[in-house]
Structure 1
Amino acid sequence: MALGAFSLSLAVKDIQASKDFYQKFGFTVVGGDQQQGWLIMRNSSQTIGLFQGMFENNMLTFNPGWDNQGNPTETFTDVRSIQQTLKDQGVDFISEVDENTSGPGSFMLMDPDGNPILVDQHR
């Protein structure tokens, strides 16, 4: 199962303060819209998302169809296939992607310790 690019999505209180902080670690803004309350920052192949007011907790994020630089991959495992594989193994979901669709879609679940995991396909 190819999960695609991995990033940590951080629920931040002050996006400017968080941006300034992570820039000290060498992260640069590669996407997003600070006025809308979200930024994507990268340092080499490490990616973090800063999200102010969009969700309550930090979460692990996987993006099928993207590499670690946010570029489309030639082949990838569709989010619906990943979801079905996890369902077949008895995993419970918070939200699911409609299996009768194609293209972009996402699902969310929690690991045993309550950490949210988002699998979010953009293509």
Structure 2
Amino acid sequence: MKLGAFSVSLSVKDLKASKQFYEKLGFTVLGGGMDKNYLIMKNENALIGLFQGMFEGNIMTFNPGWDENGKDIDNFDDIRAIQQHLKGEGIETGTEIDSKTSGPASMMVTDPDGNVILIDQHR
């Protein structure tokens, strides 16, 4: 199963302070914006999302159809196929994505230890 680009989405208290901290670790801004209350930051192939006031806790994120630069890739597994596979494995995927649709969609699953995984397809 191809889940796409991986990142960790961090819930931060102060976006400016977090940006400055991760810049000191060598990360640069790839997307988002201070005015949007989130930044996507990159250091080589590592991606992190900094989100202020959007959710509680930290989330692992996969983006089917994207590489680690947020660029479209040709060969990827659509989120609807991923949903069907996970359901077949007995994993609860939350609200059902209509299999007759195409394009952007998202779902969340939770691992046995309570870690949240967001699968977020943007195309």
**TM-score, with structure 1 as normaliser:** 0.96
1:67 maps to what in 2? 67
1:77 maps to what in 2? 77
Structure 1 residues 32 and 42 mapped into 2: Cα distance closer, same or farther (>3 Å)? Answer: same
Q: Which runs of 4+ in 1 moved over 3 A?
A: none
Aligned residues: 123
- State the percentage of identical aligned residues: 59
3-state SS of 1:72 partner: coil
1:10 matched to 2:10? The reply is yes
Partner Cα separation in structure 2 for residue 40 and residue 3 of structure 1:
18
1:47 matched to 2:40? The reply is no
Is the 2:86–2:93 contact (alpha carbons within 8 Å) kept by the matching residues of 1? no
Is the 2:9–2:61 contact (alpha carbons within 8 Å) kept by the matching residues of 1? yes
Structure 1 portions without partners, runs of 5+: none
3-state SS of 1:65 partner: coil
Is the 1:94–1:110 contact (alpha carbons within 8 Å) kept by the matching residues of 2? no
Is the 1:95–1:109 contact (alpha carbons within 8 Å) kept by the matching residues of 2? no
Structure 2 portions without partners, runs of 5+: none
Cα RMSD over matched residues? 1.0
Is the 1:96–1:106 contact (alpha carbons within 8 Å) kept by the matching residues of 2? no
- Bigger drift between 65-74 and 17-26 goes to 65-74
Give the deviation of 1:97 after TM superposition.
Answer: 2.5
3-state SS of 2:31 partner: strand
Partner Cα separation in structure 1 for residue 56 and residue 19 of structure 2:
18
**TM-score, with structure 2 as normaliser:** 0.96
3-state SS of 1:56 partner: coil
Partner Cα separation in structure 2 for residue 94 and residue 52 of structure 1:
24
